[in-house]
Amino acid sequence: MSRWSWPAALGLLVLAAVLPTTGGVALAVGSLVLVAVLALWTATIRRSITAQVGIPTRLVHGEETELAVTISNRSRLPTGRVRVRVTAPPGGFHPHESVFEVALAGRTAQRLTVDVTAYGRGRLPLDPPEIRVSDPWGLHVLTTTGPTPAPVIVLPAIVPVRRIELPAVSPVVEIPDQRSLLSDPSAIVGVRPYEPGDPLRSIHWPATAASGTLVRRETERAWARDLVVVLDLSMPAWPHGRPRPVEAEVTVAASLLVDAILHQRQPAGLVTSLPSPDAVVRGSAPVPAAPQPARFRVGHSRGHLDAMLVHLATSRHHAAMPLADLVRREVRGQQPGTTVAVITGEVTDALTDAMGALRRTGITPAVVHVDEPHRFNGGSPATSTRGIRHVEVPVDRAITRLQL
C-alpha cells in the first residue's frame, strides 16, 4: 500500500484545493501529515532492523539442520510486520527459500528457526536476507537487506563401508595401534615444521631452538599401514553417452577416508586430478584446462580429514590426465605396506599395469570399481585382476542409502 499512500494524500490535497471546504482541507492536510509521519517512522525502523542468519558452515549431504534468523529492532519505535526472506541456490537446500514474519516492540529481538536439509555438494553461497519492514498499520513498506551469511560447505555423503574390504594394512597381523609400526626412531632422515596432531616426542628441540619455531624429526618408516585414496575425476562417459557417477565415486572416497581415520585409526591421504578446493568454487571458477593434481599427504588428524572432505566437496569431472599417469606420478615414494585404493568407473589395461608396478615396490594396490549395476556378472563383489584386489561397487541405489 505504500506506493499509493503519497498519491492518495496528494490527490486529497488537490481535491481540497479545487473544492475548498473546511472538512476537505482538514482531511487532506491530516492525510498528508499522517503519510509523512508513517514514512519517517518506517525509514527510521528500516535503519534499525537487522537480520542475522545462522546455519552451520559444515554440513553433510542429506543432513537435516536448523536455519535460524535473529531479527533485532534497535529503535525505540515498534514495528509492523517484519518479513525476512532467506534464499539458497536451488538444489543446495530443501526448502531453498524460507520466509519469517514477526512484529517487534522497540528495542527487542526474536529468533526464528526452520528445519532445512542439505543436498547437492560443494561450497553453497547464501543470498543476503531480504528484509521488508512496515509501520504498525502496514501503510508504508520499505525493503532492505541484511549481511551476507558465510557460505555453507556441503560435504559428500558418508556411508558405512561394508562391502569394501581392502587388503590387510599389516604384513603379518592386524594391530589396533599403528604407532609402534609408524617409524624407526633411530633412522632420522630430516626435519619438517611441527603440525597440530604430531606427537610431542617427535619434536627436534635443537632445531626448534635454532629456528625459533617448532620443528619435528622426520624418520624412516619401518612398515607403513597407511591408506592412500586416488580418485578418478576424468570426463570419459559411459556407453550410450551417459555421464559417470561422480557422486558415487566421491561418496566412496569420503567414506573410505572417514572409516580409516576415525574408525580404524589408520593414517590416510588423498590424490585427485583437481586443484586445491580454494581454486575451485562452485559455479564461479572455470574448469582448469590443464591437469593440476592435488595431493594430500598421509595424516590422521581431524583437521587433515576435514581438509580432504572439503576438497572432495568441491570436486567435479573435468579434463584430467589419464588415471594410469596420475597413479604413476603421484603415488611414487609411498612406504612398503601402504594400501593404495584407486576409485574409478573404468578399469583399463594401462591402469592395471600401473598398479602392478606399485605392487612390485611393496605397495598393496586395490581397485574400487564404481559401475553400472547391469554390467555386473552376478559373481563375487571382490575379484582379482592380475593379482590386484578388485572391488566392484554398483550404483543402483540412492547415495544416502548406499551400503558399501
Location of C-alpha cell 599395469: 353
Query: Which contacts qualify for 303-307: CB closer than 8 Å, 24 or more apart?
Result: 303/196, 303/197, 304/197, 304/261, 305/257, 305/258, 305/261, 305/262, 305/268, 306/58, 307/277
CA 4, CA 141: separation in Å to the nearest integer?
Answer: 11
Q: Which of these CATH numbers, 2.60.40.10, 3.20.19.10, 3.30.1360.150, 2.60.120.10, describes 48-155?
A: 2.60.40.10
* The three grid cell numbers given for residue 222, joined into one nine-digit string: 619401518
Mean per-residue pLDDT for 307-327? 83
> What pLDDT, on the 0 to 100 scale, is given for residue 184?
45
pLDDT for residue 274 is more than 70: no
Measured CA to CA, the distance from residue 248 to residue 399 in angstroms comes to: 7
pLDDT at 176: 35
pTM flag (> 0.75): no
From 294, 307, 36, select the one nearest 153 (Cα to Cα): 307
Within the chain, which residue ranges are assigned CATH 2.60.40.10? 48-155
Average pLDDT over residues 108-127: 90
Alpha carbon 84 to its chain's center: 25
Rounded to whole angstroms, what are the CA distances from 194 to 209, 218, 302, 399?
A: 13, 10, 16, 38
Lowest mean pLDDT among 96-110, 128-142, 179-193: 179-193
Q: What is the DSSP string of 44-60?
A: HHHHHEEEEEE--SEEE
DSSP label of 237: P
Strand 388-394 and strand 364-371: the pairing is parallel
d(C-alpha 265, C-alpha 376), whole Å: 33
In this predicted model, what pLDDT tens digit does every residue of 56-66 receive, in sequence order?
A: 999 998 889 99
Mean pLDDT of the chain: 76
Per-residue pLDDT reduced to its tens digit, 341-375:
999 888 888 888 888 888 888 888 888 888 776 55
Question: For the segment 13-55, what is each residue's pLDDT rounded down to a tens digit?
Answer: 565 565 566 666 666 666 666 667 777 777 888 888 999 999 9
pLDDT on residue 219:
60
For residue 147, with 0-12 CB atoms within 10 Å meaning exposed, 13-18 middle and 19 or more buried, which class applies? Answer: exposed
Highest averaged pLDDT of the listed ranges 175-179, 282-286, 298-302, 315-319? 298-302
Residue 163 has a pLDDT of 64
Check residue 393 and give its pLDDT: 79
Q: Is the pLDDT of residue 286 over 70?
A: no
Please list the residue range(s) of the chain that carry CATH number 3.40.50.
179-183+221-401
pLDDT in tens, 72-93: 999 888 888 899 999 887 778 8
Interatomic CA distance for residues 159 and 151, integer angstroms = 24
- Banded model confidence at residue 284, pLDDT cuts 50, 70, 90: very low
Give pLDDT, residue 18. Answer: 59
Residue 312 has what pLDDT?
92
- The CATH architecture annotation of domain 179-183+221-401 reads 3-Layer(aba) Sandwich (3.40)
Q: Lowest mean pLDDT of 6-10, 47-51, 97-101, 310-314, name the range.
A: 6-10
Taking 70 as the threshold, does the pLDDT of residue 381 lie above it?
no
Length of the chain: 404
Higher pLDDT, 196 or 342: 342
- Looking at the DSSP bridge assignments, the partners of residue 142 are 133
Distances (CA, A) of 218 to 179, 233, 330: 14, 32, 20
| Cis geometry, peptide bond prior to residue 95 (ω within 30 degrees of 0) | yes
